Amino acid sequence: MGWIDITMPLHNGIAHWPGDTPFSYTLSAPMEETGSVNIGEITTSTHTGTHADAPFHYHETGATIDALPLETYVGPALIITAIGVQTINQALLETYDLTGVRRLLIKTKTKTDSTVFPTDIPYVTEDGANYLLKKGVSLLGVDVPSVDPLTSKDLVGHHSLGKANIAIIENLMLDHVEAGLYEFIALPLRIVGGDGSPVRAIIKPLESD
């Protein structure tokens, strides 16, 4: 099996965080005008669709997206299924074998509508983040827009993962993939000083020994 795309497609109808800049793609200079090429332009929040958060997103002196190590976003990843959970806490994570896992992707739903922003999502707790640190996880990916409740202002999930030096990827599309071990690539753009970045996330199944 080849590479599987787990990126939310960016289109003009994609849901965005309330108050954020919506995604827009415009063919600003069509070939009929330029005589040789089509040229498009985009506007978007850095947190629309599948994206990586930089620590600077939630901490004034945190590292920006261009300063984060690339190797964090490339390598083996484990996808686990936790459909319908309300919290990603230690009690939940202890039910999975995370031995040797550095990148963890959590599937919490069976269907995603990219045009609808959710009203309630599972979130990461402080003890959940600490447990991932204990297990040696360096990246957490979720299939929802945030690792915190949508109305949260203290952002316990973000800050707890940040203290644990665990990178965050949000809004993955995992509806069409099964739990298991995969090769994973989700590189953020090199946005100097950026608080986050869209990623193109792809996976390929790894054969078990």
Show which residues are catalytic: 57
**170 annotated as belonging to a binding site for a ligand:** yes
Amino acid sitting at position 173: M
Q: Does the annotation list 3 as a binding residue?
A: no
Residue 17 marked in a binding site = yes
Distance (Å, whole) CA 122 – CA 140 = 13
47 annotated as ligand-binding: yes
The number of beta carbons lying within 10 Å of the beta carbon of residue 196 is 24
51 is an annotated ligand-binding site residue: yes
Distance CA 29, CA 60 (A): 38
- Residue 155 carries which DSSP code? -
User: Could you write out the DSSP letters of every residue in 8-54?
Assistant: PPP-TT----TTSPPPEEEEEE-HHHHSS--EEEEE--TTSSSEEEP
CA dihedral 14, 48, 71, 185 (to 10 degrees): 0
Is residue 176 marked as binding? no
Write the CB contacts of 124 (distance below 8 Å, at least 6 apart in sequence).
Answer: 87, 88, 89, 140, 142, 147, 148, 156, 157, 160, 161
Report the C-alpha gap between 142 and 17 in whole angstroms: 16
Annotated binding site for substrate: 17
Annotated binding site: 17, 47, 51, 53, 158, 170
Annotated binding site for Zn(2+): 47, 51, 53, 158, 170
